[in-house]
Amino acid sequence: MRGTAARAVLLAAVAAALLALPLWTSSYWTRIATGALMWAGLACSWNIVGGYAGYVNFGHAAFFGVGAYSTAILMGYDHEWPFFLTLPVGLAVAAALAAAIGAPTLRLRGAYFAIATWAFAEVLFELATLLDVTGGTGGLSLPPLLDERFFYYTMLAAAAGTYALAYVLLERARFGYRLKALRDNEVAAETMGIDTTRVKVQAFALSAALAALFGSIYAYWVTFIDPPSVMGGDLTDQMVVMVLLGGLGHPWGPALGAAALYLVNRFFWATWGDTAAYIALLGIAIGAVVLFLPDGLVSLGSGRRRRGALRALIGKLW
């Protein structure tokens, strides 16, 4: 019982620190923390399908963009919706799109899904640059709100909610068992009555909706969005590396990877103002993780059981 008590105390301390953060740091660090929370949330959402179902989504940024654009369009001069009302729209559109591309591709081997999600993201990117409603390459502006604390607490609530939901669904509820079963042995899962395609589509829709949530908040936060800033492939790459670095298939590994990598990213940017070196670092990080630390940073701790999510994911590609 000492272990769980210690963990509860740790969790309470972290929660307290996060809740009080804007009070004991500067606005610069509040903004950094807001960004880190967003990436933590995005990493968690990718981990649902990548880590727990074992399917690689190479176009996750598209859903982030769906949320961003939904909020931007609805808050724009044509509609002028209040911010919080735009959130369910982004969630619903992302979930619907995920279900539409997931239903045909998730019944096939992982490589098809990986390619389909990548292609889907490319298509959405092109649409965003071509359509008037999305402002084309010029992008969209949102009504400005210069309230750091508002965005910090909104992002915190979204991230905390995401991790709580993921934890309950994936580590406690039946849903998590279904996912992990189909990740470890899909045929066996089927012969136990698990409708694997349906479960995969549900997981994918959930992961898409969560990504959209963060996209919506991000759009309002930065006040201006365009296709590269909310739908770029580099966004997906970063999410993937964060999850792999932190711990694929682990309930809070992605948060660790996100925080670590985001801080490094900000450091590079602040020191050298350039992200080329950072991208090189991403590449090295992926290589190092796959070779030396397949279970991520979380496995450095108590030397507990191997999660094997990375091997399952690679195995599912063909």
Partner 1 sequence: MTAAPLLELVGVHRAFGGIQAVRGVDLAVAPQEIVGIIGPNGSGKSTLFNLISGVLAPDAGRIRVGGVDVTGWKPHRIARAGVGRTFQIPALFEHMTVLENLRAASVEGEWRTAPARAARVLDLLRLAAVRDTLAADLSGGQQKLLELGRVLMREPRLILLDEATAGVHVSVRQVILDAVKARREAGATFLLIEHDMEFIRAVCDRIAVMNFGEIVAVGDFEGLLRDSRVMQAYLGRRT
Closest CA to 100 of 62, 43, 74: 62
Rounded distance, CA 22 to CA 219, Å?
21
Q: How far is the CB of 162 from partner 1 (least distance, A)?
A: 23
CB nearer to partner 1: give 37 or 243.
Answer: 243
Q: How far is the CB of 55 from partner 1 (least distance, A)?
A: 16
CB nearer to partner 1: give 107 or 266.
Answer: 107
CB nearer to partner 1: give 122 or 184.
Answer: 184
CB 99 within 8 A of CB 205: yes
Cβ neighbours of residue 117 closer than 8 Å, sequence gap 6 or more: 56, 57, 58, 59, 60, 62, 101, 105
Phi-psi region of 94 (alpha: psi -120 to 50; beta: other; left: phi over 0): alpha
Considering the rule CB under 8 A, would residue 193 count as an interface residue with partner 1? yes
CA distances from 175 to 48, 84, 126, 179, 201 (A): 11, 28, 35, 6, 12
Q: How far is the CB of 314 from partner 1 (least distance, A)?
A: 14
Task: Tell which positions 289-308 bind partner 1, by CB under 8 A.
Answer: 305-308
Considering the rule CB under 8 A, would residue 250 count as an interface residue with partner 1? no
- Residue for token digits 């272990």? 3
Rounded distance, CA 94 to CA 65, Å?
9
Q: How far is the CB of 310 from partner 1 (least distance, A)?
A: 11
Interface map 171-190 toward partner 1 (x if CB under 8 A): ---x--xx-xx--xx-xxxx
CB 232 within 8 A of CB 58: no
Q: How far is the CB of 312 from partner 1 (least distance, A)?
A: 7
Please work out the total of residues on this chain that contact partner 1, with binding judged by CB under 8 A: 23
Task: Tell which positions 145-164 bind partner 1, by CB under 8 A.
Answer: none
Cβ neighbours of residue 87 closer than 8 Å, sequence gap 6 or more: 67, 71, 213, 216
Q: How far is the CB of 308 from partner 1 (least distance, A)?
A: 4
Considering the rule CB under 8 A, would residue 23 count as an interface residue with partner 1? no
Among 194, 212, 231, 243, binds partner 1 (CB under 8 A): 194
Q: How far is the CB of 195 from partner 1 (least distance, A)?
A: 5
Residue 283 CB neighbour total at 10 angstroms = 11
CB nearer to partner 1: give 128 or 170.
Answer: 170
Residues in the chain: 318
Q: Strand (E) positions, the chain? A: 140-141, 224-225
Among 34, 47, 86, 196, binds partner 1 (CB under 8 A): 196
Dihedral sign (CA 70, 73, 79, 85): positive
The span of 22-30, 191-199, 220-228, 283-291 binding partner 1 (CB under 8 A) equals 191-199
In the complex, the residues that contact partner 1 under the rule CB under 8 A are 174, 177-178, 180-181, 184-185, 187-196, 305-309, 312
